Structures are given as structure tokens and as C-alpha cells.
Structure 1
Amino acid sequence: MTDTDVLVVGGGPVGLGAAVEARRAGLEVVVVEPRAGTIDKACGEGLMPGALRLLQGWDVDPPGRPIAGIRYCSGETAVSHRFVGPAGRGVRRTALHEALRRRAAELGVVTVTGRVDDVEVLTSRGTVRAAGVEARWLLACDGLHSTVRRRLGLDVDPDRPAAADARRGTDDRRRYGLRHHVGVAPWTDLVEVHWTPTAEVYVTPVADDVVGIAVLGPRGTDLDAAVAASPALARRVADAPVVSTTRGAGPLRQRSHRRAAGPVRLVGDASGYVDALTGEGLRVGWAQARAAVATLDDPEAYERAWRAATRDYRVLTAGLVRWATSPARPLVVPVARRAPRVFAGVVERLAR
């Protein structure tokens, strides 16, 4: 006997998405999460059209502002592309989390407030136990610094440079994110990415009177300094009040040896993460959640599905990060402007 079919560790957007998917498949689900209530975290908050489509397939439709495309900016140089198909949406992380919490509760997902300090795979029983709950399967959706990944020995040391980085004498993985909101009416329906000498500043419309500002850069990056390094953006928000707490995340680069171990599946950031540069974390995480539920009885099938779901993201994002952390960084926006079809192709791929 088990307490539930599926135990989801982590009650963030990916964990709740996994719980919703499992309930829609007719499985009993328990979510264990140490934080009560609505959870906020550092996030760019831009849902690309594909991510919004996944959400709406679960009957989740959070409020926000339409996102019609992407604009890259560097000084006076800019290049934009508007999505060919439906728009995405800028959504406050708290609004997204609350909408997913409501949907999970409507479907009968049981949420337990608790912390997973260890994971026990009960081989003789074919089950797994964590936080006092025994289940047939465990979906680890506990983020960048996943306890489940570490406890099961699936972690790859994030402080050890990959061989290619070591040969170059660089380590492009040590990047961090910061985010807060300012009270100003959005001036565009595009996500703006301002490329400064050392960081990328993302501006996302999330409400009629609020924009989110997120910064990606090396350790020690200061959000206010990054905004100031883009004079055009600094002028836009010069008199706007900060209306949320500054939150951070990182290091962003995380790797795992495998994504499946017996009855355990690593899902979302817990399974490995490249960077937030392309803004695909949630879409890829939800795609993994759907794949995990579809392949619960076949660990190797999940490994294949995970690779398929993340291949484009891993290749494109890793390439952009290498460019962004190289001496050629100042050429990113000028090259995109001179090759608008290539830029449009990249944006459309992100929109899927």
C-alpha cells in the first residue's frame, strides 16, 4: 500500500503543473512544499506563446499583459520581431502561482507543508518515500538546487568547469539573476532585452501600471547599476517607484547525470538548467512535466523524452551564453540587426 500514486516535491509553477497533469491522467497526487501560500521568486515573468498554450490546455489562464514579440537593444541600436502567431503574456510570478494553486486544488491535488531532507527508494516494494509520504513515483520539481537530485547522487558539481570551459580558461556557468518591479505604465507590448557591457536587462510588461525588470549577469551584478548602464531604459524608469522586493537566483547553470532513477524523475530546473537568457524555463519545465507523467513506467522513455523536449533550448541557449560571455558580446545586437531573418527565426523558435 502507498499513500499516493505520485508525490511531487516542490510546489512552484513546474511542480503544480506536474501535479495538474498527473491528476488529469487519473492519478492521486500529493505535493510537498515547505513554503505556505503564494510563492514569489526571481523570474523574467514573460510567458512565450507556447508556454501560455500549455497553461491554457490545463484550464489555467492567469491575468497579465500581452507580449507581442521581443526587442534587443544596445545603446542606440535595436532590433525587434513580432510573433507571427498568437501573443504571449507577461504575468506576475505570484499571479501565475496562485492560478496554478487554484487549478490544482480544483482537481483534488493534496498539498502538504513540509520539507524533503532525504529520499528513500524502497526497491523491494517498488516505491519511494520522502517527507513521510510513500508513493509509486516521485517527481522532483524542487528547483535549481534540488535536494532530491543531490540526495540521489544525480548532481553534477556546478563549481567544476566543464572540459570545454577549462580549455578556454573560462567558466560561463556562474551567472545569476535578479528581479524587481517598478510602478510605471508599459511603453511597449514587447519584451525588451537591454544588452549592457556585462549584463542583460529584461523589461516585461506585467500589468497596466507595472513592468518587471530582471537582470542576468555574473556574480556581484547590481540591478540598479545594470539599469543605469542602459541610458534609454534608465530614462524610462527614472522616477518610477520600486514596488516589489528584489529577489535573486543562481548560479543558473546546473547539470544532472540522469533524469530518471527508479521511480524518481527530475523535472524542470531540478533536471538541469543552462541559463535564463532565452526565457524558456517554464515552457521547457512544463513540457518535461507532461513527458514525465506520460512515461512513469519507463525511465528510459523519460530520458529520451527529456532530451527531445530540451534539445533546442540547450543548444540555442548554450550558444548564446557562450557568445554573451565572450569578447564578441558587444556584437550580439548589431549582428542581430544586420541579420533580421535570423533574429526572427530565433524568436519564432522561442515562441513555439
Structure 2
Amino acid sequence: MSPPALPESCDVLVVGAGPAGSACATALARAGRDVVLVDAQAFPRDKVCGDGLIPDAHRALQRLGLAGEVMAAARSARHVGCIGPRGGRIDVPGRLAVLPRRMLDDIVKRGAERSGACFFAPWRFEAPLEDGGRVIGARLKQGDQRRALHARWTVLATGAVPQALLAAGMCERQTPSGIALRGYVHNPAMRGRIEALEVVWHKRLRKGYGWIFPCPDDTFNVGVGLAHSHAKGSDGHATMADVNLREMFAAFAEVYAPARELLAGGTWLGAMKGAPLRCSLDGAKLARPGLLVTGEAAGSTYAFTGEGIGKALETGLLAADALLADDIDDALMARYQTSIAALKPRFDLYERANRVNDHPWLADLLIWRANHSPRILRRMEGVLEETGNPGHLVSLRGLTKLFLPIP
């Protein structure tokens, strides 16, 4: 039996079946909209990511009705372990889990299909269809085959690679905000040794960090990330910082003993892979008549931590909320832009918290004080739960308080 053919039209075309696109498609299909969800790759497929699910992701998955299915497959954790350059450590409690994106994204995509969205892959977005300046669908490509699919609205959830944004006239910054490199290592001997989501700062990892996150089946996601990897020079053009991620990863293994032990006694599952990050709700236009941009294409990753799954899900749901309001173009676009703008202050605070990546000694100070002050540990837990302000911890006032006598 041959697979169903791509239709000629639908209410909403969602391009990209990662967390943002699938969340958007799920909410729309549940509300009775005729939704077509396409992706450039067949599923399941790999995605470079730290794979960590922090509280905002848990909340979004609960709204989608997928939390139980995800947690049944994931590795649960109780803490984020923050490790400073001098070896100090603080375990920040939280609702946490780790599930490789190959599995997570497939669960969320299948949730969209169960809700009534029709999924087609591999179909790549080539260009928008337009009528009088309004987007009325998209030209899609599969090998040598091209199809036009008309839609009342199109949602781009195409991730950090900017080609679709460029084709749609929505890209304001081609270069990424950051870059990351990760791989999977199987090592049963580390069972019980690494139970938390471990994040490591060190002067040899300056402007970035290393991580080890425990996955199911004695496998560990291990990698390094670099914030602000592309900065504008005097000529106005953004260029990549003079950093070799593989050398940075080697330095991580040298300075952090658990990483060294993990790699020495483990087996690599495939090659290490790198990927760009688009952060801080920056670098793309959010809307034009007939089209919305969501997820990491809109910059939904936090700059300080590199966490993006939860906010990708959240922004995808906000896109669906706007579309379900059935407003005229201008009102619908304003509704969506306002909902994303409401998130922007928190992203800006994570930009401020990036000082820890720029100045790793701040991690030592925060960790030392948190180990001696339940109040500061509660504030760090609040940052994880999004009830606290990450920027306050490293603001001038916040730093001054850290130097005051411990209450």
C-alpha cells in the first residue's frame, strides 16, 4: 500500500516536526484545524542537543498530554550538579529528566499525528507561495519532486539553520548565537556515579561549559557548548570566535575527572556531532501576513544554559493559540508577537547570567555561597523552576550580596 500523497491545501502548514512544530500542530489539530506537518527528514531522526528536560519542558509536555509517555522512556534525575573551576559543587534540586532527541521528538511528532495532524517526510521547505505579499502556503521539495501546498497560514519551526528563514524573508541574523558539540557514550561502570545533570565551568572552557547528562540504558550525553560564538567585528560582520570545539571538549575531559573516566572506560555510540544555537528570541522576524516563525528558528534557546526544548514547545503552543483566535492578519500577528514579547525579559536575564560563562570564577563564588546559604540555594532552585531571576544572581547588587557575611 503506497503512502498517502501530500495534499494540495490545508488550514495550517507547519514546517518542521521538532518540539515547536509538533506542539503547534497538536494544539491546532485537537481544535479541529486541518493541519499538515512536514519535515526535511524522516522520523525518527537524530538531533544535536543536550537532551535535558527541565521544569518548563515538563509543564509543556503535561499540557500536550505526553508527560507520562516521555517519562516512561526517559531517565529521571533529581538535581542539576553545578561544578566550578576549583571543583566546588552544588546540587540544585528540580524536576528533571534526560531523553535523546531521537526518541523525544518522535514521541511529540506521533502525538501530533494522534491528534489529527497529517505528517509527511522528507519534504524540504523551498520558498513561500505568495499572493499580493501574503504567504498562502509553500513550495516543498523531495528529491527532484516539487509540490505547491496552499494554506491559510504557514508556521516555520525549522530550527537553527537559517535557510528556510532566508527563503521566507524572515531572517535578521544568519550567524548563530552559540554552538555545541556532543556525543553519546555507553559506560555501565558509571552507573550510580553520575546521577545528576552535571554542568561544569572552568577557565579552560571560558565563554562556555561542559556537561554530562545521564540517559537511559547506562548511556551518557557528553558535550561542550560555547555561548556568543559569533560576534560582530569592526566591519559589522559576525565571525566565529577563534575556538576549536574538539579542543574544548578535550580540555573538558582533562579538567573534569568524571568526564575523563566516562570516556576512558566507555564506548562511543556514533560520532560526535556539532550544531548551531539560536538564542534569546533574537535573529528572526516573528510574523508576516500568512506566516509565523516559532521555536529555535525564532531564537527560543536560553543563552546561559543552552536549554531550548521547553521554550520550543512553549513558543509552538503560543503560535497555535494565536492561530486559534481566528483574528484578521494584523490582529493575529500582533497577538503572537505580544505573547512572545512577554517571554523576552526572561531571555534577557539569561543573557545577563551569561557572565558566568565569560567569567568562570563567578561559578566558584555562587557555588561556595550556595553551599553555605540555604537562601541562595533556594534562589538557584527558583531559577530552574522559572520562579526566580537568573540575572539577579550575577547583577552588581547580587554579586555584592554574595560578598556579604553569610547569614
> Are residues 1:290 and 2:317 paired?
yes
Question: In structure 2, the residue corresponding to 1:76 is in which secondary structure?
Answer: coil
Question: In structure 1, the residue corresponding to 2:338 is in which secondary structure?
Answer: helix
> Are residues 1:220 and 2:251 paired?
no
Counterparts of residues 312-351 of structure 1 (less than 5 Å)? 312=346, 314-325=347-358, 328-339=359-370, 341-351=375-385
2: CA distance between counterparts of 1:304 and 1:54? 19
Counterparts of residues 9-20 of structure 1 (less than 5 Å)? 9-20=15-26
Measure how far apart 1:20 and its partner are: 1.0
Partner residue in 1 for 2:143: none
Partner residue in 2 for 1:6: 12
The normalised TM-score by structure 1 is 0.86
1: CA distance between counterparts of 2:274 and 2:294? 21
Contact 1:258 1:303 in 2 (8 A): no
Partner residue in 2 for 1:77: 88
2: CA distance between counterparts of 1:146 and 1:17? 21
Contact 1:295 1:301 in 2 (8 A): yes
Counterparts of residues 274-289 of structure 1 (less than 5 Å)? 275=302, 277-289=304-316
Distance 1:241 1:71, change over 3 A: same
Please tell me the root mean square deviation across aligned C-alpha atoms, in Å: 2.5
Measure how far apart 1:109 and its partner are: 1.6
Residue in structure 1 matching 2:286, options 248, 259, 267: 259
**Amino acid aligned to 2:384:** L
Measure how far apart 1:183 and its partner are: 1.0
Partner residue in 1 for 2:342: 308
Deviation per CA, 1:9-54: give whole Å up to 9, x if none: 1122221121112112221111121211212111111101231232
| Count of residue pairs the alignment pairs up | 333
**Greater C-alpha radius of gyration:** 2
> Are residues 1:205 and 2:239 paired?
no
Measure how far apart 1:236 and its partner are: 4.3
The normalised TM-score by structure 2 is 0.75
Deviates more, 1:23-32 or 1:116-125: 116-125
Question: In structure 2, the residue corresponding to 1:145 is in which secondary structure?
Answer: coil
Counterparts of residues 37-116 of structure 1 (less than 5 Å)? 37-60=43-66, 61-62=69-70, 63-74=73-84, 75-83=86-94, 87-113=95-121, 114-116=123-125
> Are residues 1:193 and 2:196 paired?
no
Structure 2 alignment gaps of length 5 or more: 1-6, 141-147, 230-242, 387-407
Contact 1:79 1:333 in 2 (8 A): no
Deviation per CA, 1:200-255: give whole Å up to 9, x if none: 11111111411111210254111333222323432344211112331111154583
Contact 2:81 2:198 in 1 (8 A): yes
Contact 2:81 2:89 in 1 (8 A): yes
2: CA distance between counterparts of 1:130 and 1:323? 44
**Amino acid aligned to 2:124:** R
> Are residues 1:270 and 2:297 paired?
yes
Measure how far apart 1:126 and its partner are: 7.1
Structure 1 alignment gaps of length 5 or more: 160-172
Contact 1:122 1:128 in 2 (8 A): no
> Are residues 1:240 and 2:273 paired?
no
Deviation per CA, 1:161-193: give whole Å up to 9, x if none: xxxxxxxxxxxx753101111112252432110
Partner residue in 1 for 2:163: 147
